[in-house]
Amino acid sequence: MEMILKDRFNEKKSVDFKEGSITSIQSNYIKNILKNLSNDYSLIYINNNDLYFLGEDVSDEIELYNRVFDYSLIIDILDILEVDNSFLKRKVDELSHTEKIYLNIIRNLSFDRKIVLFDDVFKYLDYGNQKKIKNLLMYLKERMYVIIITSSDVNVLYKLAEYSVIWYKNFFEYGSCDDLYTNVEKLVKSRIAVPVLPLITYKAKVDKNVKLFYSKDVRDIIKDIYKHV
């Protein structure tokens, strides 16, 4: 799906966000870009800061948010988040902070829309809950959603996304995450944050003349290092 990104100067860039895939956005104009996306397109916007509720219990909150929803989708999401159906009857005031984040995700995904934006996707979540959200992203991929993510941690963008948008001042690139983030020299010259794993691989070559394979799995890089020791 072609969408237009706009920065704070209203400069426009066209991006073809693909169905059934995850695309990350890294930009120094990220707040402006997200605001414009929300205003210009009918997408599901999920931010873990938006924890404002009106319903007495979880079911009330979902129905107040969206009276017509796919109940089977809600049950699937509950299963992925590893909470049983009794969660729907829980009082909102009795939920933990993490459970309120779950509720915010569930009520947003109740909308019948196939474009979803997770802003700072892992914010406030520990490692165990991050894994659940990753599983949820994989589920949405299978259902052919257009998934867009942002994060304050570039390593999250590198590990989760298949495609990436990088837009820093006059630098704009859109393409496969592997291609963009393994071009470390270009990113460094443009003063763009580089994920740890491709940076390690790059420095091994530049500083030690050791050629390692780029990988999103640190275990593969460690195995490759052992081969050269």
pLDDT at 177: 95
**Number of Cβ atoms within 10 Å of the Cβ of 175:** 12
pLDDT at 228: 64
What DSSP string runs through 31-100?
Answer: HHHHHHHHHHS--EEEETT------SBHHHHHHHH-SS--HHHHHHHHHHTT--GGGGGSBGGG--HHHH
17 neighbors 27 (Cβ within 8 angstroms) = no
Q: Give dist(CA 60, CA 44) in Å, integer.
A: 20
Q: Give dist(CA 35, CA 45) in Å, integer.
A: 10
We find that the CATH architecture of domain 2-176 is 3-Layer(aba) Sandwich (3.40)
pLDDT at 227: 73
pLDDT at 210: 79
Which residue, 174, 128, 226, is CA-closest to 18?
Answer: 174
Instruction: Please count the CA atoms within 13 angstroms of the CA of 224 that sit on its side-chain side.
Output: 17
**Number of Cβ atoms within 10 Å of the Cβ of 75:** 13
pLDDT at 37: 95
In which residue ranges of the chain is pLDDT below 50? none
pTM for the model stands at 0.92
Q: Give dist(CA 23, CA 175) in Å, integer.
A: 9
pLDDT at 4: 97
pLDDT at 66: 85
